[in-house]
Structure 1
């Protein structure tokens, strides 16, 4: 990862977005580590706060992480009438956990993260996200999310896949077999929400995902959120439900909840499913 820092700038270069790159000015490198699964880099940037990088790809920055964490969490949780048991696959920075436990209806949330190094780095350098790990409703499982789900059938009301891109450790989380496991792990009326790449850069990947998901789930929908530090400036959410459309909240988004938000509100929830015409044509959803 260090070879991506040149003349004081980190540049996010990947085969997954050929020909373009997002760059941040580096103030200080805080942490470097090679784990069994990936390279971890944390640096302090000039304008985006501390930045977590896995295998050369930005996962979270202190400045804009809420745009992703809030949307991947509150869209499915507010679309479920009673989300008591929640599973998070990935999410080793703790940000999704932080958002899930804002819902009083949630009784338990389990996080499956394959790389303990990510959790440790986040606890040290992203404390506002890692606060999620300290909540009494949270259980941690360090290991393979697929293995975990094979043991758990019909258990979860909402499952959130907060994964990195489909190259490296997260590759299996973009395949049909994974979505079949997700379906089996859901309780009746359950909802799945997964990180689902950029409309601008990965429309083929998204089309593949939505095509096989339509064969597994009765409702398959796609939302997206604006986030400057992700490739293309936005990131998608694949929302699959066994019960109803997820395009509107089914519970009141109370003033108390809105006070805890920086991005999500009821209007943003609804608007996030409105897709540009090029995506409508390709995805047919």
Structure 2
């Protein structure tokens, strides 16, 4: 709340020093402190409703679909038959909304540690939280680490929809976490994790990729445009246990009619392929 001044919310964080992103606030809809983090939901003038955790913007109604669709459909469309899916985090319900759309998904489990985020998203962010209404979903309030320790060799795809590496999400970028992901996957399983932005935190992105490479033979990094995130871009770490898979080529594609039916506003097969094309300087920094 102390970051709202003269009607503007300004996001300032040590992860992207020397810059700030501001949203004009019409109304504070909710503010509370859970056991894990500070939770703020505001109505903005131009970006609709926004969820802010520990001072960092997680999503805005204006552009959330880019992130939710990409973190979900990049792994789902790269896997031949993603029947069973696990979502770690994602308390706003946006990833659940997208996973439920994929025709191959038969059931999925979501493990979110913070009940307050779920409850308040259902109340104030129904455009995302409607994902919790899917009959395919089993929703668990708990620790994703502990859940995966007790559910090994179970999932075709695991999606980690985490906040940035501070607070309760800090452990979701470590080598130990990727080992847990590997053990919870079925053979040929695929993961996708929120992986930060190249422009602001390149060393962290590189470290996360290296942590993943210790347990996955195929690791790629993709990006999408999200204007309300730092530098207008977010990254996705996509990895597979199948050494032969080409993660940059979707095995599931959707005709124009299906795109409309699934209400995909950002993702398509061409976007999938293009998302893995990085500027020369970042290719050199990440892979050489």
Please list every run of 5 or more consecutive structure 2 residues that lacks an aligned counterpart in the other structure: none
Match of 1:208, SS? helix
Whether 1:36 and 2:35 are equivalent positions in the alignment is yes
Match of 1:169, SS? helix
2:134 & 2:157 partners in 1: Cα distance? 18
Q: How does 1:158-169 map to 2 (within 5 A)?
A: 158-169=157-168
How far residue 253 of structure 1 moved from its aligned partner, in angstroms, is: 2.0
Whether 1:258 and 2:259 are equivalent positions in the alignment is yes
How far residue 103 of structure 1 moved from its aligned partner, in angstroms, is: 1.1
Between Structure 1 and Structure 2, how many residues are aligned? 284
Match of 1:170, SS? helix
1:202 & 1:143 partners in 2: Cα distance? 29
1:212 & 1:128 partners in 2: Cα distance? 34
Please list every run of 5 or more consecutive structure 1 residues that lacks an aligned counterpart in the other structure: none
2:121 & 2:92 partners in 1: Cα distance? 5
Match of 2:76, SS? helix
Corresponding residue number in structure 2 for 1:228: 227
How far residue 201 of structure 1 moved from its aligned partner, in angstroms, is: 0.7
How far residue 34 of structure 1 moved from its aligned partner, in angstroms, is: 0.6
CA RMSD, 1 decimal: 0.9
Corresponding residue number in structure 2 for 1:15: 14
Answer whether contact 1:102 1:257 (CA < 8 A) is retained: no
2:106 & 2:270 partners in 1: Cα distance? 27
1:54 & 1:257 partners in 2: Cα distance? 34
Answer whether contact 1:107 1:137 (CA < 8 A) is retained: yes
Q: TM-score, normalised by structure 2?
A: 0.97
1:256 & 1:153 partners in 2: Cα distance? 37
Answer whether contact 2:175 2:214 (CA < 8 A) is retained: no
Answer whether contact 2:253 2:268 (CA < 8 A) is retained: no
1:254 & 1:121 partners in 2: Cα distance? 36
2:24 & 2:109 partners in 1: Cα distance? 36
2:203 & 2:246 partners in 1: Cα distance? 23
Q: TM-score, normalised by structure 1?
A: 0.98
Corresponding residue number in structure 2 for 1:144: 143
Corresponding residue number in structure 2 for 1:178: 177
Match of 2:192, SS? strand
1:15 & 1:213 partners in 2: Cα distance? 24
Query: C-alpha deviations, 1:107-133, integer Å up to 9, x for none?
Result: 111111000000011101110100000
Aligned equivalent of 1:282, options 272, 280, 285: 285
Q: How does 1:98-247 map to 2 (within 5 A)?
A: 98-243=97-242, 244-247=245-248
Match of 1:278, SS? helix
1:209 & 1:67 partners in 2: Cα distance? 22
